Amino acid sequence: MWLFHSQCTSKTRLVGKTVVITGANTGIGKETARDLYRRGAKVILACRNIEKAYDALEDIKNNPPSRPDREQFRGNPGELAIYQLDLSSLTSIRECAKNLLAKESAIHLLINNAGILTTKQERTEDGFELQLQTNYIGPFLLTLLLLPKIQSSTPGCRIVNVSSIMHTFGAIHDDLNLENSYNPIRAYMQSKLANILFTRELVRQLKETNIEGINVYSLHPGVITTELTRHFENAFSIVRYLYAIAGYLKQPFIKNPEQGAQTTIYCSIDETAAYETGLYYKQAQDDQMAKNLWNRTCLLLGLKPDQDLATLLKDVSRLIAE
């Protein structure tokens, strides 16, 4: 799903709704938070760097979106809160989820926005390739941990997974950690394809378990001028070349973070998106691949594979009860 330089025109207000956005201290995550906060939602910034999160909170509170006169922004803004979350640490994910479940009475919208692109091979404290855990395994675990709270907040709840068009060139490797043939771009593309397959399998699992009132989306936000793309640009000469061409052509395909946030906002609140749960591009519509990846991820997290979702959620709850 992708809005090309369009604005989400939904006039939906979010008074009484609670939103969790990972990586909301910068880029499209911050711009998504800015929009939803102005619509009246309680927006939780789930971020690794607390200092940057507080800077973002002040910016969001004091600076409205570029079109503050729009009808959806005319009411009172909502609330802002910060929770510490490091997706490269399973311990941090469990702790964040435990705090959210204990302190928040409802979660209506989860936006898995945080992501990284590294230029060297790194392992997390849990032994996973850094991009794989941060971009996929971490959001997978966080979503499962928060799902009971989201379910209890239905109807009208949504889960949004921010992916990338780079998934088109990705593959799910037998060696998920790419220990024998590491390449940072290959690792990134794999993690983004995994996002979409996770979305697809989660939709299937929800339907199979008769859990209603939760829509799930994956999206490509467009090519955004954010910290991640600058890292990407600096690391690879071909990308620098393409960015130079785009600049020469008046950047018709390059979005700023506010523009890039529009697809996320659309999936999060637009009424018509309610009919589009689980959709993405056809390259990622392999149900068997999605199911296999789901089961492999469960094993990596110490969870039993091939369980129905209701049983799996009981199993995963022990990770924060211990």
Could you give the CA distance from residue 221 to residue 218 in angstroms, rounded to a whole number? 10
Please state, in angstroms and rounded to a whole number, the distance separating the CA atoms of residues 273 and 254.
Answer: 24
Write out the two tokens for 132: 């794989």
CA quadruple 155, 159, 165, 168: dihedral positive or negative? negative
Active-site entry in 83, 188, 217, 243: 188
Phi, psi angle pair for 11, to nearest 5°: -95, 15
Closest by CA to 37, choosing from 109, 90, 106, is 109
Residue 110 in 3-state DSSP?
Answer: strand
Residue 2: phi, psi to the nearest 5? -160, 125
Pairing mode, if any, of strands 157-162 and 214-219? parallel
β-pairing verdict for 223-224 and 157-162? unpaired
Using alpha carbons, list the distances in angstroms from residue 9 to 70, 159, 267.
9, 20, 12
The answer to whether residue 280 is catalytic is no
- Max Cα-Cα span within the chain: 56
Dihedral over alpha carbons 288, 318, 19, 12 (to 10 degrees): 60
The residues that bridge with 224 in the sheet, in sequence order, are 255
No. of helices (H) and no. of strands (E), the chain: 11, 8
Number of neighbouring beta carbons within 10 Å of residue 127? 10
Give the number of other CB atoms < 10 A from CB of residue 220. 21
Nearest Cα to 201, choosing from 97, 98, 317, 305? 305
What's the rounded Cα separation, in Å, for the pair 290 and 194? 8
Residues belonging to the active site: 188
